[in-house]
Amino acid sequence: MLNSEQTELDLPTTHSEPESVFSTGTEDAAGVALCPPSRGAEQTEAVKKELQHLSREERRRRRRATAKYRTAHATRERIRVEAFNMAFAELRKLLPTLPPDKKLSKIEILRLAICYISYLNHVLDV
């Protein structure tokens, strides 16, 4: 992610992939160009100038429109949802139900957990 001090080259509106504008095909594993770009330096400068006049929000929108960004976001979201579901599964194991293998929705798990905690508090108070 970029902080407010950093800038990132974004795509012109006619391109959907950053590689179509800046890639030379000779890059290392980190995507850093090993050779100067095959396109003219004036074209690269023109793209930079075009991007500089865009607002921060527009540059962010263009960066988020790239396939690379969408793929990374989808991966992060998948990991988050998986962790969320694992937490519900762990909570479900701690709750008594009949039958024990009954499939519960997330809201049912939360409501049952609230009731069970209330019951345990009541047992401790008596």
b/e per residue 8-44 (b: at least 16 CB within 10 A): eebbeeebeebeebbeeeeeeeeeeeeeeeeeeeeee
The predicted structure's pLDDT at residue 71: 94
Query: Does 37 fall in a domain?
Result: no
Q: Indicate which CATH number applies to the domain containing 99.
A: 4.10.280
Q: Can you give the three-state secondary structure of the chain, one letter per residue? A: CCCCCCCCCCCCCCCCCCHHHHCCCCECCCCCECCCCCCCHHHHHHHHHHHHCCCHHHHHHHHHCCHHHHHHHHHHHHHHHHHHHHHHHHHHHHCCCCCCCCCCCHHHHHHHHHHHHHHHHHHHHC
Is pLDDT of 108 > 70?
A: yes
Query: Does 78 fall in a domain?
Result: yes
Q: Which domain holds residue 48?
A: 44-125
- Name which residue leads in pLDDT, 114 or 11: 114
Per-residue pLDDT reduced to its tens digit, 15-40 = 444 444 444 444 454 444 455 555 56
Is pLDDT of 121 > 60?
A: yes
Query: Does 74 fall in a domain?
Result: yes
Q: Token match 């992610």: residue?
A: 1
Query: Does 16 fall in a domain?
Result: no
Q: What is the pTM of this model?
A: 0.51
Structure tokens at 35: 């050779």
* Tally of domains within the chain: 1
- Name which residue leads in pLDDT, 40 or 97: 97
Mean pLDDT of 98-124: 93
Query: Does 25 fall in a domain?
Result: no
